[in-house]
Amino acid sequence: MKTSKEIKDAVKEKYGQVARGEISSVEPKSSCCGTDDQTVVNLAPRYGEADKASIPEGADLGLGCGTPAAYADMKEGMTVLDLGSGAGIDCFVASRLVGKSGKVIGIDMTEEMIKKANENKRKIDAANVDFRLGEIEDLPVEDNSVDRVISNCVINLVPNKENAFGEIFRVLRKGGKFTVSDIVVDGEITDEERRDASLWAGCISGALDKQVYLGIIGRIGFKEITIVSEKKYDYPLKSNAALYSITVSASKP
Ligand SMILES: C[S@@+](CC[C@H](N)C(=O)[O-])C[C@H]1O[C@@H](n2cnc3c(N)ncnc32)[C@H](O)[C@@H]1O
């Protein structure tokens, strides 16, 4: 079994390569967490026209597996936190929705992604977006300070999902809500698949069983847990497990 540090180092290396353009993630064969060697085909639904217009060129690296900002019920003036913000795609959609009086914080642990996201921010002068280098399990964000948390195809990459959802709970205000798109599994992934760090970086080895995933969210204390979108992936695993992209939302009571 890989240690948490080994997994994160492998994830950082892969997404650093994606950010530097050394691995293509925008070919038709690439999609969720797409890398040349581990890809899931064309599954991420796209944002609508108004959302797309707010995304600068270079911010959509084809790494998502949903459109969390479209389901997050954001309003002007809100503070939104995007976990694993990558090149910034969902932050820029949120930026338009919360407007000048709102604020968007994007967190990513890969330095090259933060650099790329800031380059993209400059292209459209998105003054209400703040990209921060940091880890989801130890968020550089104050307690009870955020109205909405979004995340797109990232939590599966985090070794300790309890810590990730625990941190989401900590930073959300009472009545705040998260909307997370992620990969989950129905069935058992083989031990070999779980051990393979490159499969982690491809969003597969770290994916939990759907019921286990939802169980963690419930145990943390979230209410109104709802799957707002779900899609089956056609990915050839050695095991008989099926992969799904789900977008799940829940609120902090
Ligand atoms: C699959 S990409 C998704 C990027 C972006 N959400 C999108 O849809 O384009 C995963 C991103 O999450 C970041 N990431 C993975 N694990 C993380 C962690 N534990 N803490 C912070 N960022 C993490 C990676 O660096 C990478 O940029």
The CB of 55 under 6 Å from ligand 1? The reply is no
User: Is the per-residue pLDDT at 30 higher than 60?
Assistant: no
Nearest CA residue ID for atom 1, ligand 1: 33
DSSP class of 99? -
Whole-number pLDDT of residue 37: 40
CATH topology of domain 4-251: Rossmann fold (3.40.50)
Separation of 154 CA from ligand 1 center, angstroms? 5
Please indicate whether residue 42 or residue 89 has the higher confidence score (pLDDT).
89
Average pLDDT, the chain: 88
| Percentage of the chain modeled with pLDDT above 70 | 89
CA 197 to chain centre: 18
Q: What is the pLDDT of residues 237-250, one digit of tens each?
A: 788 888 888 999 99
Record the tokens describing residue 20, joined without a space: 């530097």
CA 65 to chain centre: 8
Whole-number pLDDT of residue 201: 67
Nearest CA residue ID for atom 27, ligand 1: 86
What are the residue ranges spanned by the domains of the chain?
Answer: 4-251
Separation of 224 CA from ligand 1 center, angstroms? 26
| pTM (whole model) above 0.85 | yes
Helix (H) / strand (E) containing 230? strand 223-233
pLDDT, mean of residues 83-108: 98
Whole-number pLDDT of residue 26: 33
Any idea which residue has 């089956």 for tokens?
A: 232
Q: Which atom of ligand 1 is nearest to the CA of 32?
A: 1
- Please state which of the ranges 30-34, 155-159, 199-203 shows the lowest mean pLDDT: 30-34
Separation of 16 CA from ligand 1 center, angstroms? 10
- Please state which of the ranges 51-60, 109-118, 200-209 shows the lowest mean pLDDT: 200-209
Any idea which residue has 């050695």 for tokens?
A: 238
Phi, psi of 107 (to 5 degrees): -115, 135
**Residue-wise DSSP of 22-63:** SS---STT--TT--SSS---S-PPPP-HHHHHTS-TTS--S-
CA 164 to CA 248: how far, in whole Å?
Answer: 14
The CA-atom distances, in angstroms, between 192 and each of 4, 35, 196, 199, 203 are: 17, 20, 6, 10, 15
Partners of 130 in the β-ladder = 105
